[in-house]
Amino acid sequence: MIRFPRTGRTFCRVFAAVAVVAVLASACGDDDGDAADVTSTTAAESTSSTTTAPTTTAPIPETGQALGDLQLNVVQFGDEGYVEIINTGSDPITLAGVYICEFPDYADLGDVADVATLESGATTQIAADVLGGLSIDSGEAALYDGDDFGSADAMLSYVQWGTGDHQRSSVAAEAGLWPSVDDFVTPDPAFGAIESGGFAADPESWS
């Protein structure tokens, strides 16, 4: 064991006290530093959490096609006959999904028309054999948006000739596209066709 003189022991006690104070001061400094770090981190976290994301504007949907502008225009009878459809509107119309029907036959115009899109004022002809033939004696033709043939909301245009009360005539009457199931057009055998004159829903306009 090493012994120190009294003065040496006194110096050691003083030195030890100073050392303790220094350690405590150092510890307090660390605590202050940690507190500063915590504060700055909290502030950073608070700033990042309150950042507002930029707002976005949803695109405006495109205007739908005016399918009501598709109208039956001409029915040509016989083996070389056809039903002519006209776009009476000012914009092109895509034909896929539009159906033509002469009960019980029907077809998607996208599959049987000679064009995919019907321009303003243009016509397309659907051959008679697509519809099971077009007899001058009696028949009907109807255009639909889709294949729900019993829906008045889906029907676009209609005509019946020779006799009344065809399968789709009640749907046409409900849709306001034909006066009644009893109204029909009487074709002129010498002419071999009927034409709407632009007013397909009026039997009197067909000649």
Q: Determine if the peptide bond prior to 104 is cis (ω within 30°).
A: yes
Statement to judge: residues 45 and 102 lie in one domain = no
Domain encompassing residue 39:
1-50
Q: Is the pLDDT of residue 57 over 60?
A: no
**CA separation for the pair 84, 159 (Å, rounded):** 12
Instruction: Quote the pTM value.
Output: 0.69
Say if residue 28's pLDDT is above 60: no
Is the pLDDT score of 149 beyond 50?
yes
Q: What is the CATH number of the domain that holds 106?
A: 2.60.40
Q: Do both 83 and 44 map to the same domain?
A: no
Q: What is the pLDDT of residues 82-116, one digit of tens each?
A: 999 999 999 999 999 999 999 999 999 999 999 99
Q: How confident is the model at residue 133 (pLDDT cuts 50, 70, 90)?
A: very high
Q: Are residues 114 and 191 in the same domain?
A: yes
Cα(178)–Cα(170) distance, rounded to whole angstroms?
Answer: 9
